[in-house]
Amino acid sequence: MYEEVVNRYSEVINSHCEQCEFFIKILSDYNNFKTEKKQSEKLNEFIEIQWKDYISEFAVDGVEEEIQEALAKIVIHNIIKRRFTIDRIKKGVKLC
């Protein structure tokens, strides 16, 4: 199902990943998210628990709730992973 959603809704996913307000809200929520799990498991736990907080962003007429859930999870994952990539690049070129 993941591949189907990514292929069919790639424009929606990309546009949400690039919306500054949405991007900042997710990153802020993620940074404030407390967990007892290892750092490496934090992302998946955050997505599983918090995705419903963002579902209104994906409420599109004619799109099934299951697809909206998948979209929300994919976008949240992509936004946070992109942030990790930016941080690694900054460290690699000694900008931080």
| pLDDT tens figures, 50-59 | 999 998 887 7
Contacts of 49 (CB under 8 A, 6+ apart): none
Instruction: Please tell me whether the overall predicted TM-score, pTM, comes out greater than 0.85 for this model.
Output: no
Instruction: Indicate the average pLDDT of the chain.
Output: 85
Query: Angle of helix 10-18 relative to helix 20-32, nearest 10 degrees?
Result: 70
Q: Which amino acid is at 17?
A: C
Residue 79 structure tokens: 């936004």
- Cβ neighbourhood burial of 28 (10 Å; 0-12, 13-18, 19+): exposed
- Lowest mean pLDDT of 15-19, 55-59, 73-77, name the range: 15-19
Mean pLDDT for 31-37 is 94
